[in-house]
Amino acid sequence: MVQREVVYVISDSVGETAEFVVKAVATQFNGGQVEIRRSSYVDDFEDIEDVIALAKKGNSIVAYTLVIPSLKEYLDQRANEEGILAVDLLSPLMNAFVTKFNKEPNHRPGLMRKLDEEYFRKIEAIEFAVKYDDGRDPRGIKMADIVITGVSRTSKTPLSMYLAHQGFRVANVPLVPEVPPPDELYEVPRKNCIGLVISPDKLNGIRIERLKALGLASRANYASFERILEELEYAEKIMKRVGCPVIDVSNKAVEETAGLILDVLKKERSK
């Protein structure tokens, strides 16, 4: 009777990385017909002994991703004593990092999972920013971590996306004299809302360039000084009513403004 080929995967985290590597290797041998048994969140010697007891009974390999030095050393010792082939999937590359980049590892399990969680939180924030961009759905205002409001062409959308890439759920609300802002804007806590203002000259130049890009006449009302002054005056009244902090974005890059937004709101939340 042919013994079943088994690979025991041991990890002090989930073990997905080790299992993925084992599967990738196994596909090179008869279509990958090998049984994989995963032991996740191994954090003491008893867990290792359980796997050792099973592995020594059959035709087995132990593949592991242990970053806690004491667990790795114990597994290496016990595998050697029992004549079990144990393969360390992380140390060769970690040692290369230490040698080439002169850095020391954290030796903390679960960091990859943490990175994955940050990634998915970022994706959720980006989807949120797209859904609640430009006041499309006022329901997002109450769910947002940050609410940005201001007149057209004050970089509300680029700021929303930039902050979303840092994991913040951002909704932005345009202020237009002919369209009353949603009631939800007046219900946002001061610590979650920021108003954007800009100099009339700067806004005039931005809007003229925008009209040119759209193939429209630069003399359109959208870019006229009278219209711009009207909008800025209206926006100022709304922001005062909301009671939110205000940032002048006239000569600031998106990255700089985003940093200021986070600083201002941090101070508001610490009050």
Provide the pLDDT confidence category of residue 110 given band limits of 50, 70 and 90.
Answer: low
- List pLDDT tens digits, range 224-247: 999 999 999 999 999 999 999 999
Q: Is 147 helix (H, G, I), strand (E, B) or coil?
A: strand
**Domain 115-270 of CATH type 3.40.50:** yes
pLDDT mean across residues, the chain: 90
- Domain ranges in the chain are 5-109, 115-270
Domains 5-109 and 115-270 share a fold: yes
Residue ranges for the known binding site for ADP are 150-157
pTM, two decimals, is 0.62
Q: b or e along 129-147 (b: 16 or more beta carbons within 10 Å of the residue's beta carbon)?
A: beebbebeeeebbeebebb
What confidence tens digit (pLDDT) does each residue in 25-65 have? 988 886 667 899 999 889 899 999 999 999 998 889 999 99
pLDDT in tens, 53-109: 999 988 899 999 998 889 999 999 999 999 999 999 988 988 888 888 887 877 777
Known binding-site residue numbers: 150-157
Of the candidate CATH numbers 3.40.50, 3.30.1050, 3.30.1360, 3.30.2320, the domain formed by 5-109 belongs to 3.40.50
- Contact yes or no for 194/175 (Cβ under 8 A): no
